[in-house]
Structure 1
Amino acid sequence: MAKPAGKTKTKGKSRTRRKQPLRLRAWLARWLGRALLAALALILGLVLLFSVINPPITHTIWSEYRRLGKVERDWVSLEQIAPVMARSVVAAEDANFCLHWGFDVNAIRAAIGEGLGRGASTLSQQVVKNVFLWQGRSWIRKALETAITPLVELTWSKRRIVEVYLNVAEMDEGVFGVAAAAEGYFGVTPDKLSAQQAARIAAVLPNPRERSASDPSPRLRKRAAAIMDGAATIAADGRADCFE
């Protein structure tokens, strides 16, 4: 016996209603997947581009410009920077820079064991944060930093990582890069920096707004002296070879 026409129509409408949420979820999943692939392609493209082209701006530089109304910045190649300046920032921030591929496992373990909030980030991670991401502490930023760092290590030379770091790091309030810092603090070009001057610039990191290389506190003088010793040590034991 044939089913009533009304019941058949009701069942058809019910199936249609069930299919609509499924189609919406499939559409959202498809577009989210495309957006993720596009973001990954953009990041990879920027990493490759900045391996040979100097980053024109960073989120931090832009933020400081908006806050202060101006920033100081002059890009210089690594050849135009005193070698002791490169050794000083490596000694201060990542003494094992030449020995790892983006992450210093021993430093991470030490930081966790001592409950430190800082001290485990390598120079490579700091370059990723400064060039591609933003300042501040968040799990999202840290996850992105962890994902991008191996790409940078894979496609950039160690010299390139040091060069970019020395040109994008904030070294005084609104002052980015060693060229502007050398001029602002000591009135010299970066290739003329002495070991002491280089160590004092490295010593203001990572709090350049609260420290001064030209008017150092006793604590900063002590840190700068330790950095001078560290720079000499990594030059002597070969831990500076990968960027010199």
Structure 2
Amino acid sequence: MWKKIKKIIYLIVLANILFIVWGKFFNPPITITQIGGLFEFGKLKRDYVSYAEMGDNVKKAVIAAEDQTFFDHNGFDYKAIEKAVKHNNAGKKLRGGSTISQQTAKNIFLWQGRSWIRKGLEAVYTFIIELIWGKDVILERYLNSIEMGRGVFGVEAASEYYFNKHSKDLTKSEAAWIATILPNPKKYDPKNPSAYLNKKHSWIMRQMNNVSLK
């Protein structure tokens, strides 16, 4: 019995290793979150594009909005995590401290939610993809897989859905609008923004001036 269990464990570990290595060269065929969106909204709008085909504006906008130290950290922003813990312990609305690398690990390999098991696995995957994939691949996978609307995934599909153009052709303002709806794209709509979204959009536009794509 124990030999069978060990064999199953070895096979799971091997499959994960192969999937991680494979993921350095290819986008995921589908993710758990995308399957969830398909069942929830009855559609799956997705169009994977290469890092170069995304254009710089949307990269800068999302980094400005989500993780301005992306190119400097090792997958974890400890200052952001500390701030999030203090904020949450104060009884305020829950705030995350996840980096783009952590979100990529979650979106590609895991599921949504706040369980400790998922967070632990997320940390392991984050550490590994930082070592094996590198920053450009992580950012490409993130921008291709992230949820950006109801059944809409990735910056290319979002660009076509909201602005009827390719992501590489987005203006600075349009790219900032796509980043503005994160992290709640099911609720927010850049075509019908609230006062809060307008304020956030202006902030992202300013922050984009400080983002450098290394």
- With the shorter chain as reference, the TM-score category is over 0.9
Deviation (angstroms), 1:90: 0.9
Deviation (angstroms), 1:118: 2.6
1:206 aligns with 2:177: no
CA distance in 1 between partners of 2:20 and 2:44 (Å): 24
Deviation (angstroms), 1:82: 2.1
The structure where helix makes up a greater share of residues is 1
> Quick one: which of 98, 110, 119 aligns to 2:96?
119
CA distance in 1 between partners of 2:191 and 2:52 (Å): 24
Partner of 1:78: 51
Q: Secondary structure at the residue paired with 2:80?
A: helix
Partner of 1:156: 133
Deviation (angstroms), 1:224: 1.2
> Quick one: which of 8, 16, 22 aligns to 1:49?
22
Deviation (angstroms), 1:166: 0.8
Gaps spanning 5+ residues in structure 1: where? 1-26
Please list the CA deviations of residues 13-70 of structure 1 after superposition, one character each: whole Å capped at 9, or x if unmatched. Answer: xxxxxxxxxxxxxx33x43333322222211111110100121100111121122222
Partner of 1:10: none
Partner of 2:201: 224
TM-score relative to the length of structure 2 = 0.93
Higher RCO (C-alpha 8 Å, min separation 6):
2
Deviating 4+ runs (over 6 angstroms): none
> Quick one: which of 55, 61, 64 aligns to 2:37?
64
Gaps spanning 5+ residues in structure 2: where? none
Q: Which amino acid aligns with 1:111?
A: A
Deviation (angstroms), 1:79: 1.1
Deviation (angstroms), 1:145: 0.5
RMSD: 1.3
Q: Which amino acid aligns with 1:204?
A: I
Paired residues of 1:59 and 1:134 also in contact (CA < 8 A): yes
TM-score relative to the length of structure 1 = 0.82
CA distance in 1 between partners of 2:13 and 2:203 (Å): 41
CA distance in 2 between partners of 1:119 and 1:229 (Å): 22
> Quick one: which of 144, 167, 180 aligns to 1:190?
167
1:170 aligns with 2:143: no
CA distance in 2 between partners of 1:230 and 1:40 (Å): 40
Q: Which amino acid aligns with 1:60?
A: T
Please list the CA deviations of residues 154-211 of structure 1 after superposition, one character each: whole Å capped at 9, or x if unmatched. Answer: 0112111111111101111100111111111111111110111111101111100100
Paired residues of 2:87 and 2:94 also in contact (CA < 8 A): no
CA distance in 2 between partners of 1:35 and 1:105 (Å): 35
> Quick one: which of 71, 75, 85 aligns to 1:102?
75
